[in-house]
Every structure is written in C-alpha cells, then in structure tokens.
Structure 1
Amino acid sequence: MPRPSTPDTEAAFAEELSVVRPGLSAPYALALPGARAAVLTRLWRALAYEPLPWIARREADREGLTLRLADGRRLRGPLPDPYATSAYVTEVRLGERAYDRPEAVVGALGVPNGGAFSAELGNSVASLALSRANRTSEDLPGASGASWAWEQRVVDGHPYHPNCRARPGFSVAEQLAYGPEHRTSVRLGLVAVDDVLVTGRWPKWLRDGERVLVPVHPWQAAHVLDASVQEGFAARPLMSLRTLAVPDGTHVKTALSARLTSSVRDISEYSVRTADTVSAFMEETTARLGAPLHITRTLGAATAGSPDLAAVVRESPDGYAGEGERCVPVAALPLTGLPGKASWLAEFTRLVLTVGLRLLELGVALEAHGQNLLVILDRAGSPVRLVYRDLADIRVSPARLALHGVPVPELSGRIVTDDERALRRKLFGSLVGGALGATAGSAAALREALASVAADLPRTPDLPALLGEPVPAKALTLMRLSPGTPGDLWTRLPRPLAGPGSS
C-alpha cells in the first residue's frame, strides 16, 4: 500500500532515500531549505490573495503585509508579488513566532481541513527537494530535441500551487521511477477488455483481435486496479505524470487515481464520450480561424466502464515543428533563457494573447496554462506558432459560435457554457494568471510586456476585461481546504497594468 505522509515527511524521505538511492542523500539535505522557501512562497501568495474565510483583512505597508485573522492573531510576511516565480519568502511570523516550514504554518493556523493540507505541503517540500537533488547538468535539448525532453527538465512543477510537487501515496522509489523530472522511462501495462466504450479510431497496436488493450500506469496497476495486467511498452512521462510519450510519436494519457496538486486524476466517461467530437470541432475551428495555432488531435479514447481504467491516445505536438524549429512547453520556456529578454517576452505575449482573444471571441476558451500550451520557436528562438493539447477542459460557447456562423458541435455537459465570466476565467486565469505570469516571473516583467503589446492586440469585446480588470486565478489553496465544495473556486489578482499596490 502507498506510504502515507508522516508528521515529518522530510525525515521519512531521507530515511527511504538512504536505502533506495544513498548517493542522493546529501544533495537532498542541501536542497531542503530552498524547497521549503519555494513552497512557502507559493503558500504566501495564496494567503495574500485568496478569499480565505478565516482572514478578516489584509494590511500592507512599505515593509510587508499583515494578515489579521478572524480569531485576532496576526500573520506577517513580505509584500507579495502575485506573479513571482522566485522563492522570496523564507519565513513568516505568526504573532512573535517565525516559521520557515509551510506545513508548520498551516498547522499553527489550525484552520478547518488544515491537517490534510499541512501533510500535503510537507510532501510537496520533500518531493521538491528530491527533484532538485536529482536535477541534471546535461545540456538542454537542441533544435532536434523532442518536446518530452524539455518537459523532463522542468523540476519545480506548478509555478504557483503550494502542492507543486505533492505526490502523497508515492514512495521515494516510485517518485524516482515515475516522475518526469527524474528523466525516467516508464513501462506501461496493458489490460485486455471486451466490454469497452471507444470513441475515435483506437490504434491497431492497442488491440488484441477484437479485444481493446487499455494502457495502464504501473502505479495504477500496483495500487488501484484489480485486473490482470500484461507486459506493455516503455514510454517517457510528461509533466502531467500520467501522460507519456510513446516511441512511435503518439502520446498516451492514462488513468492515475492519485492526488496530484489539486485533484485526484482519472479519465471520466464524459471525457471519453466527447473526445472525438471535441477534437474534430477544434481542428475545424482553428482552421477557420487561420491563427498560428495547432491542436493535437485526439486519435482515440477508451474506458472500460470505470474512470480508473481508461486511456486517451493523441498526436504528439512535435509533428507541428518544422526543420530547425523547437516545440517547447511554455512551462519549460524559462530554461531557454529567452524570457529574460524584454523584446522576446513582448513578442511571446503578443502571440499568445492575440490567438487566445481571437479564439475566445469566436466562442472557445482554452485552458492555456504552461502544461497544455506549447510554443514553436524558429532557428533564432523567436516564437512563431502555438500548439495546444488536452482538450478535456476547454469551454465552448454556442451563442458566440452562432454569432460568427460557426456550426455548434453536438456537445453538452461541463464543456458547454455561454457564461461570459466562466469563459474569461478559463482563458485569462490559465493564460495570464498562469502561463504568461510564470514566463515573465514577476509582476513588473508582466506589466512591461503587457504595456508594450496592448495597442497591438485585437479589439475584441473581451479585451477591456483583459487589460482593465483584476486577473482571475484559481484559488488553489481554498480549493484544497474546501473538500466538500465541488468544482473550481476563484480569486482575483491585481491588474498587471495598474502598477504595484493596485487591485
């Protein structure tokens, strides 16, 4: 069974590491302080901006931010930067006591549902330290490098989630074996099923006569499934952990019923039933739009009547890169050094916002965070086109589509909405509050990039909200502390163009 998080997960990791990979013990110990600061910085962002019910008010001065809690206590820390990706918070003070461990902060706050969250924060710190301890000094992928190689260089995980590396239920050995940042190859298993729902064209190499072979992750086979699992094939894990690059060039998304960052991952029957329709619709829509955007097509989806035994096969984004071009996930862009140049960041900002706004005007809101969105760079490193993958959580507006004469797909359920706020939240929250903010690395850099391209952006009905209103962002910590509340919860980050201290 999976090893639960302990009150001192750091020590538990160290003990197991001394057995399974003793050569990493010293680098792991050295990485712990930086990992604590990285997770504490993410937690402080959440405490500074999310609508947490036990925070009565926030008071900023020149030297920092004070959170006045509903019970009368005060929590004090540095002035927050909502888009910072550097670890600038090394401690916070609750009353007179200083804390440098994020799980200890939540434990001391004593908030409802804080126990489980505190344990996950400890797991996030230890897992992040493990990832940093095992980081490589190898050269980054060149022009001929596959996108999976870039993904496996992303060490720190989600740029803003305190649970950026939390993998409760994974032993140290399993993290080293399955985590993409450990640059591993994973051998998937296969489960042969007769009673299965398939949409699209399920590949012939995943069939055994009339039976469908469903790829399964080895962690899933060991801890969740009660089924006979055959020997499968080796594949390279991508940033999402459960999606892997197959040697023939396709990507396979497996069910992996573990909690990673915010939620338990599986593949719903709804996603399987709608996969082919959504993929065909998006292929037609992007062609109609004529924008520099490619969609990785879903080739086939299957479920054996359970979200724990399902899979999706889709194109690799690499096929959309030409000779001498690189296809790089947005989350990996900081590794290239390119975002450090103001002119490059402006060029990239112009590209992604132009494509996102035009598609939103047409009636489609992408969840364009740094994992789903990739950029094709030319020989000189300039961003020239975008690639989007994983269509499970986009939003489609029938009213907007009809307004532009676009045939409305035969879809229902969560993917369909005409709610203007929901559409803007989906795109702006992922693209500005996520991908662009993390690529810029600070509020100042994001503000400069937006100011330099604002006049060039398409004058769509959504542009004033993008430039003039606070940026929506998922309230990731509030969501983890609200286990009984389904769906996404939201907060608003300060408007980048309004300058420091704005709201």
Structure 2
Amino acid sequence: MHRSATAEAEITAELTDVRPGLVPGYTRELPGARAAVLTRLWRGLAYEPLPWIGHREPVDGGLTLRLADGRRLRGPRTDPYATGAYVTEVRLGGVAYDDPVRLMTDLAVPHSAGFAAELGHSVASLALSRAARRVPPQERPRRDWEWEQRVVDGHPFHPNCRARLGFSVAEQLAYGPEHASLVELRLVPVPAGECLVTGVWPQWLREAGRVMVPVHPWQAAHVLKRTGERRVAAHPLMALRTLALPDGPHIKTALSARLTSSVRDISRGSVAASAVLSDLGEAVAARTDGLLHITRALGAVYAGSPDLAAVLRESPEEYARSGERVVPVAALATTELPRSPGWLNRFTRLALTVGLRLLELGVALEAHGQNLLVVLSPDGDPVRLVYRDLADLRVGPARLARHGLPLPELPARMVTDDERTLRRKLFGSLVAGALAGTAGSGPVLRSALESAVPDLVRTPDMLALRDEPLPAKALTLMRLSPRTPGDQWTELPNPLHDTLL
C-alpha cells in the first residue's frame, strides 16, 4: 500500500471515531486534494534544479523530463505562477499517475520515501480541511482572524501545502484556523529569574515572581509534557502557532512541529532582538510616506529553551482607520471583494514601491502572503500595507549606512551585504509568492507587473527585477535535501519577458 493510501486510510479511521459525519465529505474531497498537491509537485519538478533530472523539453503541447537514469516523465506544460489544481495526471514511462505520493514513491530518487510520506499527509490533511471548513464562502469577514480562516488550502505553491505531521485528526479540527475553533493556550509559570524578557511583558502574564508563558496545547502535550493551570482562549491564524486574542494582541507560540518546510522555534536570539527589530522596522517604514506599517513586538520571553518561548505582537487591526479592513494577502483570493478595474495593478504597484524602497534602505522583507497584509479602503481599494513578523528579515549594513541608519545588534544570520541574498529574500517572497498567488497565473502577473514597473524608481534592484530571472525557493528540492540546511533556490522565467514552459 502506498503512503498516500495509508495516510488517507488513517484519517478515515480517525474520522470514523471522532467525527463520523465528515467521512463522506472527506472521501469526496480526496481526488481534488491529490490534484492540488500533484500540481504543486509538478511545478517543482518542472523548474527546480533537481540533480536527477537531466533535461526538460517541451513536446507536443506538454513537457517531458528526461531523468538521469534514462526514464521519461511527461506532463502538461506548466505555468510556475498558476494556482489551483490543473495537473490531474502525469506519466512515468507508460504508467499514468494521478497520486503525487505514488509518483514520488516510484521515482525512487534519494530521500523520496520521506518526502512521499509528507505528501501523503499533505493530501489527506488538505482533504480534511476542505471537508471540515466551517466558514461560509459568501460571508464577509469582520475581524482579522476571520480572514485567516479563509485560507483553507495553505501555501499556494508548496507540495506540503497542508501537511501537519504529528497532528491527529482531532488536533487538526481543534487547532486549524479553517475550522474556526477557539484554542485554549496553556499559561506555563516559569520563575522570572530563569527567563529572558524583552519589551513589556504584561501584568496579566505575571504572577508572584513568575512569568506566565503562553504555550500551544499541542506543544504542551507532545513536547513539554506539562500543562499550565491557567488558560486563555485565542483564535488560530494561518501560521497555526500564532493566535489572536479576542480583544488584544497576537501571540506567537513555540510549536515544534513540521509545517510545510521547517520545524520552527523561537530562538533566544530572536527574543533578544525583537525590540530592536521593531525599532528598525519603524525607522524604515517611516520613510515610505505612510504606505507601510510594521506591527511591533510588544514583549517577548525565552524560558530557557526554544520549545518554551513566546512573542506578543500588535494586531494588524491597529492600523485600520474607520471603515477600512486589513486583509492578509494570502486571503485575497478566498473572498469576493469589491474590486474596481485595475485593482491588481494598483496593488502590485503599491507592494513593489514599498518593497523596493525598503530594499534600497537595506531591509529585505520576507513579504509572502502570510506576513504581508493590505489595508483596503471602504470601497475595497488598496491604500497601505502592514507587515508582521520580523524574524526572517535580511538586513544589509552597507545599504543602511548609505541612508544614515545604524545597524542594530541582530542575529548574524540576518545580516548580509550580498546583493543576491537580499534580492532573493524580497523577490522570492513578494513577487514569486504574494503577487503571483494573488494574480493566479503568469499572464495575469505579467500584466500587473507591466503596469507597475514603469512607475517605479529605476534603482539597480528594480532593474534586476525587470531584467533577470525571478528567484523562488526550491521547495521540492529542499524537502529532498534533508541534510542541507537553510533555503535553496531556483530561477523562474521572468514574467515580464520570458516565455513560460
């Protein structure tokens, strides 16, 4: 039995126990979930520098991949900026595959077995998320977490778009934002003398010489093996480990589970740097003529381990004026909003103006659809941007110095003057990520970029964006290279002038 069937059967069995009424809907969603994951996988196979693919060749309206061992893998021509599920079958030799897990298993390349298992979880969890979603598609969200609940399918381009390894069905239903559940965070007490605290840690999270650390219930049960006596309810956001208090800030918790590519934690260095990063973010945002707001880290705590740490962050709603809405870019495609002609062009111009301005100043944003939010006017027009979570910025000291900005004390991994690294960070997240996901296809993205680019300041960064291949994270290669740390990259055809495969 292939791992896809195993993962699907496991969820079916668990659903039969905890939510039997969902079994028929889950079963109906499985073919579409397989196609969605297969589409993302085929994109990676078509464009990433995988060492066991020798040659790619457009043939008869499709694409043939010649593998290093002589086999041929055939599928449709692919648009690297398209979203959705348009790949329903590929052929390896003479065998047709509609299941990404069976395909990856039979490719039998290095580390494919582990990746196949992840793909199986992605398919099964995606079908569960689609079957169990609780938000009516026609309902207009009012609060920030309600927008986050709209993003049912996860990352638009990652084959592990919905993988939640280590989560049971009951835990997925209880903690996934698409299921619109309230999550009870555990408040774990730690002696104040054992904690690094930066910013202002509020009094309601202090008690008799102890700091109360908000802990995700999954983390408390599976990693810390402890529970807090006190609890606080919050709404889960797209990041899963970050939650919104009903009338307060957002809480970023430690959650040592693999979601899409990485096991994320909250390091001592990021807690130590949280306040100075907020100051730097505000300093560069102040030079965008009011087009960008940065959500500040209000307070952060590190209680002796990356598994026991938390950050309190401003809600993006703080930056909405009367009648305005603040919407995560990843949620733009999930709800019908009033859009006047040229809306995408204006949004693209706004996003590139801000992103390139900060890059010129020396700050490269990780501006994917989860971190980047757009402020919409009462009429639905994009008027400003909000950026949250500064932990993955890249900062160029030489650029800062040219503009009279001091370099704060930051973790070494964040600091670089390498032009390629800085541009990859911004272009890979903003253009190949947020803007491509919003556009939904290469031709639409091209049209938006063609409208926006002539109005941009002609910096070396803008010229690189216009003239060079577009960098993007090699998401499939990264999962097939478990011993290679950090990000790996590929180059996609520049939608402004290249012909897509």
Q: Which TM class, normalised by the smaller chain length?
A: over 0.9
Equivalent residue for 2:22? 24
Distance 2:176 2:17 in 1: 18
Q: Does 1:391 align with 2:390?
A: yes
Distance 1:66 1:402 in 2: 49
The partner residue of 1:127 within 121, 125, 128 is: 125
Equivalent residue for 2:65? 67
Equivalent residue for 2:172? 175
Q: Say if 1:191 and 1:215, in contact at 8 Å, map to a contact too.
A: yes
Equivalent residue for 1:165? 162
Equivalent residue for 2:85? 87
Gap change, CA 1:137 and 1:246, over 3 Å in 2: closer
The answer for unaligned runs of 5 or more in structure 2 is none
Q: Secondary structure at the match of 1:414?
A: helix
Q: Say if 2:288 and 2:354, in contact at 8 Å, map to a contact too.
A: no
TM-score, length-scaled by structure 1: 0.96
Q: Secondary structure at the match of 1:184?
A: coil
Distance 2:338 2:59 in 1: 31
Distance 2:87 2:278 in 1: 42
**Percent of aligned pairs sharing the same letter:** 67
Q: Does 1:430 align with 2:429?
A: yes
Equivalent residue for 2:153? 156
C-alpha deviation, 1:142, in angstroms: 4.0
C-alpha deviation, 1:284, in angstroms: 2.0
Distance 2:150 2:357 in 1: 32
Q: Does 1:232 align with 2:213?
A: no
Equivalent residue for 2:460? 461
Q: For 1:99-114, list aligned pairs within 5 A.
A: 99-114=97-112
C-alpha deviation, 1:229, in angstroms: 2.2
TM-score, length-scaled by structure 2: 0.97
Equivalent residue for 2:242? 243
Q: Secondary structure at the match of 2:300?
A: strand
Equivalent residue for 1:262? 261
Q: Secondary structure at the match of 1:311?
A: strand
Q: Secondary structure at the match of 1:41?
A: helix
Matched AA of 1:254: T
Distance 1:280 1:203 in 2: 19
Distance 1:32 1:289 in 2: 45
C-alpha deviation, 1:268, in angstroms: 1.1
Q: Say if 1:85 and 1:159, in contact at 8 Å, map to a contact too.
A: yes
Distance 1:459 1:268 in 2: 38
Q: Say if 2:373 and 2:387, in contact at 8 Å, map to a contact too.
A: yes
Q: Say if 2:54 and 2:66, in contact at 8 Å, map to a contact too.
A: yes
Q: Secondary structure at the match of 1:8?
A: helix
Q: Say if 2:273 and 2:409, in contact at 8 Å, map to a contact too.
A: no
C-alpha deviation, 1:285, in angstroms: 2.0
Distance 1:83 1:113 in 2: 26
Distance 2:229 2:158 in 1: 36
Q: Say if 2:323 and 2:378, in contact at 8 Å, map to a contact too.
A: yes
1:307-357 deviation line (CA, Å, top 9, x unaligned): 100001000000101111111000000123359876111010000000001
Q: Say if 1:66 and 1:76, in contact at 8 Å, map to a contact too.
A: yes
Equivalent residue for 1:56? 54
1:129-148 deviation line (CA, Å, top 9, x unaligned): 011111235265647x1111
C-alpha deviation, 1:221, in angstroms: 0.7
Distance 2:451 2:283 in 1: 32
Q: Say if 2:4 and 2:119, in contact at 8 Å, map to a contact too.
A: no
Equivalent residue for 2:482? 483
Distance 1:426 1:292 in 2: 20
State the number of aligned residues. Answer: 497
Q: Which 4+ stretches in 1 moved above 6 angstroms?
A: none
Matched AA of 1:123: H
Q: Does 1:494 align with 2:493?
A: yes
Distance 1:398 1:116 in 2: 39
Q: Secondary structure at the match of 1:121?
A: helix
Equivalent residue for 2:329? 330
1:211-259 deviation line (CA, Å, top 9, x unaligned): 1110000000110004452231100000000000012320000000000
The answer for unaligned runs of 5 or more in structure 1 is none
Distance 2:118 2:35 in 1: 15
